[in-house]
């Protein structure tokens, strides 16, 4: 069955520390992969996406993610976290064009300590 797993429900890091949020997926073929961020009371904003090419993708707000086919993973990273990064982060997968459905993980809530 198709699924997305974000194993960490909560993560706490100190401001300035590095961050890695994990995402593993189960899918029949290489899907499109996404990371979204949701600030409190807001909708989801697309951070970055992967659908082909270089397996290390850069996104907005200084985030990057690496697609590892052998591990079925798409982990999100940031070298130095800012207090404003505190939010909930969702990994999602989608089939190549022509289908509607994205599958979302259950989210990782990031807390940043000053």
Partner 1 sequence: NAGVTQTPKFQVLKTGQSMTLQCAQDMNHEYMSWYRQDPGMGLRLIHYSVGAGITDQGEVPNGYNVSRSTTEDFPLRLLSAAPSQTSVYFCASRNREGGYGYTFGSGTRLTVV
* 27 touches partner 1 (CB under 8 A): no
- The residue within the footprint of partner 1, chosen from 63, 85, 90, 110 (CB under 8 A), is 90
Residue of 7, 30, 27, 2 whose CA lies nearest to 76: 7
* Residue placing its CB nearer to partner 1 in the complex, 15 or 22: 22
- The residue within the footprint of partner 1, chosen from 29, 69, 101, 114 (CB under 8 A), is 101
The distance in angstroms from the start CA to the end CA of the chain is 41
* Residue placing its CB nearer to partner 1 in the complex, 49 or 77: 49
Q: Distance between CA atoms of 57 and 54, rounded to whole angstroms?
A: 7
Q: Distance between CA atoms of 14 and 49, rounded to whole angstroms?
A: 26
Q: Which residues bind partner 1 (CB under 8 A)?
A: 4, 9, 32, 34, 36, 41-46, 49, 51, 90, 94-102, 104-107
């Amino acid at each position: 069955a198709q699924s997305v797993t974000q194993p960490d429900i909560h993560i706490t890091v100190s401001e300035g520390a590095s961050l890695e949020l994990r995402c593993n997926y189960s899918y029949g073929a290489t899907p499109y992969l996404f990371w979204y961020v949701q600030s409190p009371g807001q909708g989801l904003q697309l951070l970055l996406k992967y659908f082909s090419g270089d397996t290390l993708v850069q996104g907005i707000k200084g985030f990057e993610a690496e697609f590892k086919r052998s591990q079925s993973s798409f982990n999100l990273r940031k070298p130095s976290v800012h207090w404003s990064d505190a939010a909930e982060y969702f990994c999602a997968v989608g089939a190549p064009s022509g289908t509607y459905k994205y599958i979302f993980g259950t989210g990782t809530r990031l807390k940043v300590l000053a």
